[in-house]
């Protein structure tokens, strides 16, 4: 039996084992519209039942030795390695990933599990000074039940990067993947941890609609919500969590800038820009959404980028060797095309692309762009590269920051000049002589402004902060004397 044999999970939920669900959702291949199977859909009642069971199971899991929890995470990493080819195939077919992106995502999952295997034995407290005749210290305790709400674009890693550290630190997890990618964003994770020996009841898989999302936020047993997705939905979750006095870690949208400084190698810069804008069809929160190029290079850069865009093949990544696969669904495909069309109508020049090709959108370059056009102002979430020029470093900084988002910035060219620009801008991540898309399991990840609530993913410090609570502990040799 393979890891993802549909006889195990087809039409079912994972909650204390695989259980039949009241309704099912089709697993659809976006490139062809073919149905690949069905997943169980959760209800609000299922979510509340799972939260209660998770709270019960979490107490025993938290009491499990750090070495035993670490062993489960290590085994999960080994299983991701053993089943990488099967998982990659599902990422290609269900998520529309090109083969290279699928392979990269599967390897990130391996690294995430191995990195998180160190968390159970990571130092989790401090010894404090005190004026009293006692010991004073802090210790980090598991938060309890964590709800993870994950998106469709990098479904495996964007769910796992919260699930793995939360489990490693002794929490139970309710995982709600996007129903469009419920296999790669949910079933894969559940099956891996099931085979890795995670005790029953600690992880629950709950694909569902907005009502289920609301339930996993509002369930009284849930103490932390980890959400990756759009800014409007993140705002709503943050507001609701605030009223309920729960912590919400929000990784939201981006409209990321790539700045090409004077003197930069144009061909290398355009290669970086193409990768940043077209990887996974631009369906990444870190996608290069704005190309800000020095006026001395902007004409040549646009021409080279457009030539690259025209040369990139699009199609079904499961059956063809392509650079761009399908947009996740027709609604999003038409939204991308609408933004491009509206921007061209407002005066932008279509240097390349701008065409729907089946379920795909061709790599697009827009020149003669102004900062009030929708292709510049909005998070497109498609393979669209608008280009604008700048004259001074001050102007470049102003253009970068004239944006509601603040997730990732790439700066290409002279390192000293890039450092000066980096000190002037607001961004959760800055990459000098790299494009905007980068992620590593041991590196903090998060944005500012409308891109979220800061770095709550990646690295021991961020993970411990995200998924534990601080407890103050004091100890005296004898009962203290008091004046009453």
Active-site residue numbers? 251, 285
Per residue in 180-205, is it b (16+ CB within 10 Å) or e — as a string? bbbbbbbbbbbbbbbebebeebbbbb
């Amino acid at each position: 039996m393979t890891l993802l044999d549909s006889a195990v999970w087809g039409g079912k939920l994972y909650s204390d084992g695989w259980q039949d669900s009241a309704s099912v959702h089709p697993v659809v291949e976006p490139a062809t519209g073919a149905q690949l199977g069905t997943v169980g859909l959760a209800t609000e009642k299922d979510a509340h039942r799972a939260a209660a069971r998770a709270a019960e199971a979490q107490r025993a899991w938290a009491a499990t030795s750090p070495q035993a929890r670490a062993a489960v995470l290590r085994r999960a990493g080994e299983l991701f390695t053993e089943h990488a080819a099967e998982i990659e195939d599902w990422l290609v077919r269900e998520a529309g990933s090109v083969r290279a992106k699928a392979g990269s995502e599967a390897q990130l999952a391996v690294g995430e599990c191995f990195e998180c295997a160190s968390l159970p034995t990571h130092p989790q407290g401090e010894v404090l000074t005190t004026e009293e005749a006692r010991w004073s210290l802090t210790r980090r305790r598991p938060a309890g039940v964590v709800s993870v709400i994950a998106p469709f674009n990098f479904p495996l890693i964007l769910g796992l990067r919260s699930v793995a550290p939360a489990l490693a630190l002794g929490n139970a997890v309710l995982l709600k993947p996007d129903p469009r990618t419920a296999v790669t964003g949910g079933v894969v994770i559940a099956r891996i941890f099931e085979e890795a020996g995670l005790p029953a009841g600690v992880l629950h898989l709950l694909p569902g609609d907005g009502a289920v999302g609301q339930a996993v936020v509002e369930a009284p047993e849930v103490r932390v919500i980890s959400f990756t997705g759009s800014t409007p939905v993140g705002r709503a979750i943050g507001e609701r969590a605030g009223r309920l006095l729960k912590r919400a870690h929000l990784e939201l949208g981006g409209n990321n800038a790539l700045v090409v400084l004077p003197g930069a190698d144009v061909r290398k810069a355009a290669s970086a820009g193409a990768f940043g804008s077209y990887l996974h069809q631009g369906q990444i929160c870190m996608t290069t959404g704005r190309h800000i190029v020095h006026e001395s290079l902007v004409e040549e850069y646009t021409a080279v980028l457009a030539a690259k865009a025209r040369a990139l093949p699009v199609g079904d990544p499961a059956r063809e060797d392509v650079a761009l696969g399908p947009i996740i669904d027709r609604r999003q495909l038409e939204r991308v095309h609408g933004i491009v069309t509206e921007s061209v109508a407002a005066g932008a020049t279509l240097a390349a692309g701008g065409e729907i090709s089946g379920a795909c959108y061709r790599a697009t370059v827009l020149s003669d762009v102004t900062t009030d056009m929708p292709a510049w102002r909005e998070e497109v979430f498609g393979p669209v590269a608008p280009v604008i020029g700048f004259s001074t470093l001050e102007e470049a900084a102003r253009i970068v920051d004239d944006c509601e988002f603040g997730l990732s910035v790439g700066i290409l060219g002279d390192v000293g000049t890039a450092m000066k620009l980096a000190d002037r801008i607001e961004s959760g991540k800055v990459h000098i002589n790299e494009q905007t898309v980068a992620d590593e399991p041991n590196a903090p990840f998060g944005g500012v402004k409308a891109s979220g609530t800061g770095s709550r993913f990646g690295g021991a410090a961020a993970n411990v902060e995200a998924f534990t609570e601080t407890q103050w502990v004091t100890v005296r040799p004898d009962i203290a004397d008091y004046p009453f």
